[in-house]
Amino acid sequence: MLLFSGSGSTEHLRLLADKAKSVGAEVVLLTTKPSSPIGDLANAIIELPAGTKYDAEGSAQPLGSLFEQAAQIFLDSIVLDLMSALKVDEETMQQKSCKLRVSYKCKIAL
């Protein structure tokens, strides 16, 4: 399970991480705070040096948008690397993405 939490302490995400771990799933956390409640549960942590709604002092961006934008750019770079490695174009990615949205359902009971 890949979770995004700037603070690493978002309660509903911590509950999801705990549930995922209890059924044997691995948890990866994308955060600005590796030492955090979700970080303690994670198998792997990707640290983004970006401000969150709690510590974005000096940023003109409102609330947690600095972390959210950094996460978006980080993930876009991964997708670009995957496209290159897999030798697929944007049209192919779009077709596969639409199929996944239609056919994928996930339920985790808390």
Active site residues: 68
Helix count (H) and strand count (E) of the chain? Answer: 4, 3
